[in-house]
Amino acid sequence: MNINPLDILRKKRLGGELTGEEIQAFVRGVVDGGFADYQTSALLMAICINGMTDRETLDLTMAMAHSGDMLDLSDIDGVKADKHSTGGVGDTTSLILVPLVACCGVKMAKMSGRGLGFTGGTLDKLEAIPGLSIDVDIDAFKAQVNRVGCAIIGQTAELAPADKALYALRDVTSTVDCLPLIVSSILSKKLAAGCDVVVLDVKTGSGAIMDTEAQSRKLAETMVRIGNMSGKRFSALITDMDQPLGDYIGNALEVEEAIDVLSGRAQGALKTVSLTLGAHILRNAGVVADVEAGKALLERKIQSGEGLRKFAEMIEAQGGDPRVAWDTSLLPRAKTLIDIAAEADGYVAGMTTSDIGNAARLLGAGRLHKTDVLDLSVGLVMKARVGDRVRKGDALCTLHVGERSDVDGAAALIRRSITIGPERPEARPLIRAVVE
């Protein structure tokens, strides 16, 4: 069926509902060049202004998923699961929950991306482990998931190519924050990756893509609704990003904190969110009856040492040095550490998490452009959290700096980001809501 791009543009510009055939023609045209960039940009803007129905969003998601390879994971035994985060600062949950959930019999077949912005993505963090490769072909990926129970690798170039083309134009047409386009972008890659169960971690607050809880809830509800319409099992948590999730921010630093959690040495918000996300996967996969039972099971895997051993097994399977799991000194280390001190007595009243993330980027832990080269050793370690009592001169955080680090710029952002007040602020919940 030959559909004129102008007819599609006109229909959506006037607020009409596109048919499945029209959406498929649009996605096909994006991939094969049948739509010029200016036509695609015009349609993205029309979608941004006029929105999409659930049926349109599902059709767009499925067309984007089918624009490239659809992974067939049927030869992997058991339930296959994945997790996606909308991104934040100190967000190292994948490195914790993937091996822990695998210990419980659910196969964690995870494809991740590289980070733009605050710090590297999951792949960059993993590459801080000496020798580890994230470039694993699909047959080896499936074999590893079958044998080990888990793998985290880079997305293939053939996975949802329409999303890559559309995102490049969304970035330059101010349509990145359009809800149906966000939903279809995230879900198309998850559906193409072939898992049965997906749990979403939707961040809210000053370090999140959605900075208000209402926006985050709308995004989570839409993704779960559209995801479940696709025939897969989706659920979502809305979690706080008004301060970094973990205390370690950087690539090697975040691997170190993940190991501390898996070894049982570290408690706190990062562990809480990781275990809660993992428990939802276990519940949705039918391993446990409810989330509380899932959290208890995952805690037992930490206490027994199984989770840390599984992480080491995954590292070794991907060519990395498994000794890192017991000796974090093998990770890249910054040579210079600089404390940023509190300038007054009081309580940590609040943080602007995006400033903290950008401070890590100025140190060299994150990238603005895909071609930027990271320093995997640098970053910062938070020494105080919201609500803590501090005295003038106490360290609020410690910068881990390298030769290319903008220390002055990072220090200025940290000082600006952390507010000290005379009264302890009211505690806010870490997990704001659950969307089923």
Q: What is the pLDDT of residue 87?
A: 83
**Tokens linked to 360:** 């890590």
What is the CATH classification number for the domain harbouring 205? 3.40.1030.10
Q: Which domain holds residue 16?
A: 5-51
Report the pLDDT value the prediction gives residue 30, as an integer from 0 to 100: 94
| Residue 172: inside a domain | no
Is 371 in the same domain as 406? Answer: yes
Beta bridge partners of 241: none
* 13 and 140 co-located in one domain: no
Q: Determine contact, residues 156/194, Cβ cutoff 8 Å.
A: no
Q: Who has greater pLDDT, 290 or 169?
A: 290
For residue 277, count other CB atoms closer than 10 A to its CB.
28
162 domain-assigned = no
What is the pLDDT, as a whole number, of residue 119?
A: 66
Asked if pLDDT for residue 241 goes beyond 80, the answer is yes
Instruction: Please report how the helices 37-50 and 5-13 are oriented relative to each other, as an axis angle in degrees rounded to 10.
Output: 20
- In angstroms, rounded to a whole number, what is the distance separating the alpha carbons of residues 332 and 132? 13
Q: What are the start-end ranges of the H helices in 67-210? A: 93-103, 122-126, 138-148, 161-172, 179-192
pLDDT at residue 164, as a whole number? 86
* Residue length of the chain: 436
Question: Which of 296, 295, 261 has its CA nearest to residue 278?
Answer: 295
Residue 116: the pLDDT is: 53
At 157, the pLDDT band (50, 70, 90 cuts) reads low
- Asked whether residue 428 is domain-assigned, the answer is no
Q: Is residue 350 part of a domain?
A: yes
Q: Do 313 and 355 belong together in one domain?
A: no
> Mean per-residue pLDDT for 322-348?
97
Q: Are 304 and 358 part of one and the same domain?
A: no
Instruction: Kindly report the CATH number assigned to the domain that includes residue 29.
Output: 1.20.970.10
Q: What per-residue confidence (pLDDT) applies to 358?
A: 93
Instruction: Give catalytic residues, as residue numbers.
Output: 84, 163, 170, 185, 189
Same domain, 396 and 372: yes
| pLDDT score at 227 | 94
pLDDT band of residue 372 (cuts 50, 70, 90) is confident
Do residues 147 and 280 both lie within one domain?
A: yes
| Average pLDDT over every residue of 365-376 | 83
Contact call for residues 358 and 207 (beta carbons, < 8 A): no
Q: Is residue 67 part of a domain?
A: no
Rounded average pLDDT over 220-248: 95
Question: Is 70 exceeded by the pLDDT of residue 212?
Answer: yes
* Cβ(204)–Cβ(239) below 8 Å: yes
Highest mean pLDDT among 110-124, 205-219, 317-331: 317-331
Select from 271, 294, 325 the last residue of a domain: 325
Q: Cα separation of 182 and 200, whole Å? A: 13
Going by DSSP bridges, is the β-strand pair 336-341/346-351 parallel, antiparallel, or unpaired?
A: unpaired
Chain centroid to CA 259: how far? 18
Instruction: Give the model's confidence band at 243: pLDDT under 50 very low, under 70 low, under 90 confident, else very high.
Output: very high
Whether residues 378 and 239 share a domain: the answer is no
Q: Which two tokens stand for residue 272?
A: 């809480």
**15-29, 217-231, 366-380: which range is least confident on average?**
366-380
For the chain, the average pLDDT equals 93
- The pLDDT > 70 percentage for the chain reads 98
**Is pLDDT above 70 for 13?**
yes
**Same domain membership, residue 222 and residue 308:** yes
Say if strands 107-112 and 80-85 run parallel, antiparallel, or are unpaired: parallel
The answer to whether residue 375 is domain-embedded is yes
Average pLDDT over residues 103-119: 81
How many beta carbons lie within 10 A of that of residue 214, not counting itself?
9
- Give per-residue pLDDT as tens, 273-295: 999 999 999 999 999 999 999 99
- The string of pLDDT tens digits covering residues 194-208 is 899 999 999 999 888
169 found inside a domain: no
Structure tokens at 57: 């969003």
Taking 80 as the threshold, does the pLDDT of residue 181 lie above it?
A: yes
pLDDT in tens, 256-279: 999 999 999 999 999 999 999 999
- What letter represents residue 378's amino acid? V
User: Are both 128 and 270 inside the same structural domain?
Assistant: yes
**CATH number, residue 352:** 3.90.1170.30
Q: Is 345 domain-assigned?
A: yes
Enter the tokens of residue 96.
Answer: 């914790």
pLDDT band for position 115 (cuts 50, 70, 90): low
Q: State how far the Cα of 220 lies from the Cα of 434, in Å rounded to an integer.
A: 9
Tell me the C-alpha distance between 302 and 279, whole Å. 13
Task: Kindly give the pairing relationship between strand 150-154 and strand 107-112.
Answer: parallel
Instruction: Tell me the residue type at 78.
Output: G
Say whether pLDDT at 113 is over 80: no
Same domain, 385 and 247: no
Among 298, 325, 352, residue at a domain's last position: 325
pLDDT at 2: 77
Q: Is the pLDDT of residue 117 over 60?
A: no
Q: If pLDDT is split at 50, 70 and 90, which confidence band does 158 have?
A: confident
How many domains are contained in the chain? 3
Maximum CA pair distance of the chain?
71
Q: How far apart are CA 315 and CA 153, in angstroms?
A: 11
297 and 231 in a single domain? The answer is yes
Mean pLDDT value across residues 377-396 = 97
User: What would the mean pLDDT of 10-20 be, rounded to a whole number?
Assistant: 96
150 and 227 in a single domain? The answer is yes
State which of 271, 298, 325 marks the end of a domain: 325
The answer on pLDDT for 368 being more than 90 is no
- Over residues 297-322, mean pLDDT: 98
Give the SS3 label for residue 309.
Answer: helix
What is the structure's pLDDT at 159? 83
